[in-house]
Protein backbone atom coordinates (compact mmCIF):
# COMPACT_ATOMS: atom_id res chain seq x y z
CA UNK A 1 0.00 0.00 0.00
CA UNK A 2 1.20 3.50 -0.77
CA UNK A 3 2.05 5.59 2.24
CA UNK A 4 1.61 9.31 2.66
CA UNK A 5 3.04 11.02 -0.40
CA UNK A 6 4.51 14.50 -0.21
CA UNK A 7 5.90 16.73 -2.93
CA UNK A 8 8.29 18.23 -3.60
CA UNK A 9 10.97 16.46 -1.52
CA UNK A 10 13.18 19.51 -1.63
CA UNK A 11 12.40 23.14 -2.34
CA UNK A 12 14.85 26.01 -2.50
CA UNK A 13 13.51 29.45 -3.23
CA UNK A 14 14.16 33.09 -2.54
CA UNK A 15 12.43 35.00 0.19
CA UNK A 16 9.23 36.66 -0.87
CA UNK A 17 8.26 33.83 -3.20
CA UNK A 18 5.15 31.74 -2.78
CA UNK A 19 5.74 28.14 -1.72
CA UNK A 20 3.19 25.34 -2.07
CA UNK A 21 3.68 21.98 -0.41
CA UNK A 22 1.51 19.04 -1.36
CA UNK A 23 0.31 15.94 0.41
CA UNK A 24 -1.65 12.85 -0.53
CA UNK A 25 -2.81 10.94 2.57
CA UNK A 26 -3.23 7.20 2.81
CA UNK A 27 -6.47 6.17 1.17
CA UNK A 28 -9.25 5.80 3.72
CA UNK A 29 -7.58 7.95 6.36
CA UNK A 30 -9.88 10.68 7.64
CA UNK A 31 -7.35 12.76 9.53
CA UNK A 32 -4.54 14.76 7.98
CA UNK A 33 -1.88 16.64 9.92
CA UNK A 34 0.73 19.18 8.84
CA UNK A 35 3.88 19.48 10.97
CA UNK A 36 7.00 21.59 10.84
CA UNK A 37 10.32 20.33 12.21
CA UNK A 38 13.32 22.48 13.13
CA UNK A 39 16.33 21.82 15.31
CA UNK A 40 15.33 24.50 17.78
CA UNK A 41 11.63 23.79 18.13
CA UNK A 42 11.35 20.14 17.19
CA UNK A 43 8.22 18.76 15.56
CA UNK A 44 5.30 21.18 15.81
CA UNK A 45 1.73 20.62 14.69
CA UNK A 46 0.58 23.41 12.39
CA UNK A 47 -2.96 22.34 11.47
CA UNK A 48 -5.07 19.23 11.18
CA UNK A 49 -8.12 18.26 9.15
CA UNK A 50 -10.87 15.75 9.73
CA UNK A 51 -12.96 14.72 6.74
CA UNK A 52 -11.40 17.58 4.75
CA UNK A 53 -12.46 20.19 7.33
CA UNK A 54 -9.82 22.17 9.23
CA UNK A 55 -10.31 21.42 12.92
CA UNK A 56 -7.43 23.15 14.67
CA UNK A 57 -5.11 25.68 13.05
CA UNK A 58 -3.76 27.13 16.29
CA UNK A 59 -0.25 26.05 15.35
CA UNK A 60 -0.15 28.04 12.12
CA UNK A 61 2.51 30.64 12.86
CA UNK A 62 1.24 33.59 10.85
CA UNK A 63 -1.25 34.70 8.24
CA UNK A 64 1.42 33.97 5.66
CA UNK A 65 0.62 30.29 6.17
CA UNK A 66 -2.54 28.71 4.81
CA UNK A 67 -3.68 25.14 4.31
CA UNK A 68 -6.47 23.58 2.30
CA UNK A 69 -7.90 20.15 1.77
CA UNK A 70 -10.20 20.28 -1.27
CA UNK A 71 -10.84 16.53 -1.22
CA UNK A 72 -10.01 13.40 0.73
CA UNK A 73 -6.89 12.65 -1.28
CA UNK A 74 -5.14 15.99 -1.45
CA UNK A 75 -3.97 18.81 0.79
CA UNK A 76 -1.75 21.83 0.34
CA UNK A 77 0.23 24.03 2.69
CA UNK A 78 1.05 27.41 1.24
CA UNK A 79 3.45 30.09 2.45
CA UNK A 80 3.12 33.52 0.90
CA UNK A 81 5.37 35.43 1.11
CA UNK A 82 8.09 33.10 2.31
CA UNK A 83 10.84 34.18 4.73
CA UNK A 84 14.20 32.61 5.65
CA UNK A 85 12.85 31.65 9.08
CA UNK A 86 10.34 29.38 7.36
CA UNK A 87 13.20 27.07 6.41
CA UNK A 88 12.42 23.68 7.94
CA UNK A 89 11.25 20.18 7.12
CA UNK A 90 7.50 20.03 6.67
CA UNK A 91 5.79 16.71 7.28
CA UNK A 92 2.32 15.59 6.42
CA UNK A 93 0.78 12.70 8.36
CA UNK A 94 -2.51 10.88 8.18
CA UNK A 95 -4.48 8.66 10.50
CA UNK A 96 -7.53 6.48 10.23
CA UNK A 97 -10.71 7.37 12.05
CA UNK A 98 -12.09 5.68 15.15
CA UNK A 99 -9.78 5.23 18.12
CA UNK A 100 -7.66 8.38 18.41
CA UNK A 101 -4.74 6.21 19.54
CA UNK A 102 -4.37 4.92 16.00
CA UNK A 103 -0.83 5.74 14.81
CA UNK A 104 -0.13 8.68 12.58
CA UNK A 105 1.69 7.74 9.40
CA UNK A 106 4.17 10.31 8.20
CA UNK A 107 5.23 11.19 4.69
CA UNK A 108 8.89 11.60 3.78
CA UNK A 109 8.68 15.36 4.28
CA UNK A 110 9.56 18.43 2.24
CA UNK A 111 12.87 20.05 3.06
CA UNK A 112 12.30 23.77 2.49
CA UNK A 113 15.09 26.32 2.25
CA UNK A 114 14.29 29.99 1.88
CA UNK A 115 17.28 32.06 0.83
Partner 1 sequence: QKEVEQNSGPLSVPEGAIASLNCTYSDRVSQSFFWYRQYSGKSPELIMSIYSNGDKEDGRFTAQLNKASQYVSLLIRDSQPSDSATYLCAVKGRRGGATNKLIFGTGTLLAVQP
Interacting residues toward partner 1 by CB under 8 A:
31, 41-45, 48, 50, 55-56, 91, 100-101, 103-104, 106-109
Compute the least distance from the CB of residue 93 to partner 1, in Å: 8
User: Is the CB of 55 or the CB of 115 nearer to partner 1?
Assistant: 55
Compute the least distance from the CB of residue 90 to partner 1, in Å: 11
| SS3 assignment for the chain | CCCCEEECCEEEECCCCCEEEEEECCCCCCEEEEEEEECCCEEEEEEEEECCEEEECCCCCCCCEEEEEEECCEEEEEECCCCHHHCEEEEEEEECCCCCCCCCEECCCEEEEEC
User: Is the CB of 80 or the CB of 106 nearer to partner 1?
Assistant: 106
Amino acid sequence: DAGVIQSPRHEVTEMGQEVTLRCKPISGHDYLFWYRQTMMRGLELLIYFNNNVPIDDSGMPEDRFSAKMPNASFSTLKIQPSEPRDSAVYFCASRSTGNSNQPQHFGDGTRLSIL
